[in-house]
Amino acid sequence: MLKIGVLASGKGSNLQAIIDAIESGKVSATIGIVISNKSNACALLRAQRHGITSIFLDPKESKTREEYDARIVAHLEKEGVELVVLAGFMRILSPYFIKAYKSKIMNIHPALLPSFPGGHGQRQAVDYGVKISGATVHFVDEGCDTGPIILQVAVPVEDDDTEETLSARILEQEHKIYPLAIQLYAEGKLEVIGRKVTIRQK
Ligand code: GAR
């Protein structure tokens, strides 16, 4: 069974969607550990409620990004994590981390990449005035939200949308495509060639 490690900084609704999908048998994986860079992240409580090992690692206790990432990687390796899932993890991973889990890190972004990378993808979409935005699950590479795209879903932007209303509409879709992407990975159906990901049908 695929063992995943989830990194999260915030409320953890994507983590919850993944937990629910695992518990209902839609995703064939187990969560080895949940790690947060925020002591008060709701994601940690969600993990605890489901009996999943969860830890807070304080970035202030590390001198450099690499040193912090090395601590995370040590925990992931100790738990035998095979796929790292970033679920609202608001830190850029160092090249050290990317190398340690090359092509084995997924992220979800609240916009249709390559549009609106970085922070506040939903606010960027509202401010720009696009009519359609969405969500993207992608593999993580050394860039910021630049890795090979696994799944995308389009979400309409309404005239009176605020960052909050659009975020809620996008989040609903995130909760569907993230578990699906993990399941496709678990089934060995994702083939990465260059920057293209193809989904094998069988
Ligand atoms: C989600 O909307 C996710 O796409 C976004 O943070 C939110 C986390 O929500 N991630 C990023 O913006 C990454 N750049 P959650 O904690 O409820 O899963």
Is 164 contained in some domain? yes
Nearest CA to ligand 1 atom 16: 12
> What tens digit of pLDDT does each residue of 9-50 get?
999 999 999 999 999 999 999 999 999 999 999 999 999 999
Judgement on whether residues 167 and 82 belong to the same structural domain of the protein = no
Does the annotation count 109 as an active-site position? yes
In a domain, 178, yes or no: yes
On whether both 97 and 9 belong to a single domain, the answer is yes
Catalytic residue among 109, 120, 138, 175: 109
Distance in angstroms (rounded) separating the CA atoms of residues 147 and 194:
10
Domain-located, residue 145: no
Q: Is 12 in the pocket of ligand 1 (CB under 6 A)?
A: yes
**pTM of whole model > 0.85?**
yes
- Is 46 within a domain? yes
Ligand 1 in contact with 41 (CB < 6 A)? Answer: no
Looking from the CA of residue 42, the nearest atom of ligand 1 is: 16
CATH number at residue 179: 3.40.50.170
- CA-nearest residue for atom 1, ligand 1, is 88
Domain span at residue 181? 109-136+153-202
pLDDT of residue 202: 74
Cβ of residue 148 lying under 6 Å from some atom of ligand 1: no
Helix or strand or coil: residue 17? helix
Residue 13 placed within a domain = yes
Domain annotation covers residue 146: no
Q: What are 172-202's pLDDT values in tens digits?
A: 999 999 999 999 999 999 999 999 999 998 7
- Is the residue at 181 inside a domain? yes
Number of domains in the chain: 2
| Residues in Cβ contact with 148 at an 8 Å cutoff, skipping those fewer than 6 apart | 138, 139, 141, 192, 194, 195, 196, 197
3-state secondary structure of 155: strand
117 and 180, same structural domain?
A: yes
